[in-house]
Amino acid sequence: MARQCRLRSNGLRESLASHSQLVRRLYFNQTKIMEISEIASAFTAMSQEVRLELLRLLIGKGPTGLAAGDIAVRLGLSPSKASFHLAALERAGLTQSTRQGRQIIHAVRFVTLRRVFAFLTEACCDGRPDLCGDIARLLPPLPTGDETMTAAFNVLFLCTHNSARSIIAEAILGSIANGRFHAYSAGSEPNAAPNPEVLAKLANLGHDTAALRSKSWDEFTGPNAPRMDFIITLCDALDGQVCPDFGSVPVTGSWPLPDPSKFMGSAVERAALINELYASLRRRLDIFTALPFASLDRIAVKARLDEIGGGGVPVSAGER
């Protein structure tokens, strides 16, 4: 009886193992079929000359992309025809679109292109580089940076003294975050306290200034520090200010703005400069928080961050 039970048990294990192998094969085949289907859709979307020209144009522009109107002009297309072809490429996952002000910006999804190339070359010559020129290794493995980003995000603003620009940015983002962002600020050479004129301005605009303080960026580099998703420097490197490097994990951006501590104008002029700094940072942060992070990969987010940083402030008080 015991032997019979063992035989039945062994037979059950063999049956389960066989079933498990079958499930794995079916899963692999289904995954492969889905992958082939997606690749086929990409090739179908690229099967027209206009779309190939369009894709080549966007590849040349990189992750910053190009406005839909500019695409139509450069390729000699009507707006409706350009929109039709752009929609086909986006449905296939080859491009992505984001709104920037009144414009729709289209950019290549390099992740999809890489997967198309990898799919075609992964079995090249059965792994014999002497026959195929090692084409399968022309593209390195997909980096983790190609993954899309989802909120909530930790954002660290940096300037040399952490007394004005970064304090303003921390206060603004904290007030408009709606639970999607956590704002921090620090400096490489922090002052003892934030600029009193800045704190007065923020308080007059209804910001809670009780928790705002000047602090070293060292507070955000230890193992127990919050992990940053974005690090935005507000200092001007051309003025010789030292901004710390936090490595390649966070998405970094540079939004250089005038330093109020270096401006020796009258009280009225200083107030005007602080007003300009506040308005510029509010404008940039409104754009930043409105980005469709869930539909953008990290490369595209980095490009948008750099575009926002090119906004600048009026050249009045800060440039005299």
> CATH assignment of 153-319?
3.40.50.2300
Separation CA 243–CA 187 (nearest Å): 8
Per-residue H/E/C for the chain: CHHHHHHHHHHHHHHHHHHHHHHHHHHHHHHHHHHHHHHHHHHHHCCCHHHHHHHHHHHHHHHHCEEHHHHHHHHCCCHHHHHHHHHHHHHCCCEEEEEECCEEEEEECHHHHHHHHHHHHCCHHHHCHHHHCCHHHCCCCCCHHHCECCCCEEEEEECCCCCCHHHHHHHHHHHHCCCCEEEEEEECCCCCCCCHHHHHHHHHCCCCCCCCCCCEHHHHCCCCCCCCCEEEECCCHHHCCCCCCCCCCCEEEECCCCCHHHCCCCHHHHHHHHHHHHHHHHHHHHHHHCCCHHHCEHHHHHHHHHHHHCCCCCCCHHHC
In this prediction, residue 198 carries a pLDDT of 94
In this prediction, residue 111 carries a pLDDT of 76
List Cβ neighbours of 210 (8 Å cut-off, separation of 6 or more). none
Mind listing the pLDDT tens digit of every residue in the chain (320 residues)?
444 444 344 444 454 344 444 434 433 343 344 477 788 888 888 888 999 999 999 988 877 788 889 999 999 999 889 989 998 898 888 888 776 667 788 888 877 887 787 777 766 776 666 666 666 555 545 544 444 555 578 999 998 899 999 999 999 999 998 888 999 999 988 999 999 999 999 999 999 999 999 999 988 887 778 888 899 999 865 445 555 556 556 888 889 998 888 877 788 888 999 999 999 999 999 999 988 887 777 878 888 898 898 754 433 333 33
Report whether 192 contacts 116 (CB < 8 A): no
Q: Do domains 12-143 and 153-319 have the same CATH topology?
A: no
Separation CA 272–CA 262 (nearest Å): 14
Parse the chain into domains and list their residue ranges. 12-143, 153-319
Residue 4: CA count within 13 A, CB half-sphere:
1
> CATH assignment of 12-143?
1.10.10.10
In this prediction, residue 236 carries a pLDDT of 66
pLDDT tens string 168-206:
999 999 999 888 899 999 998 899 999 999 999 999 999
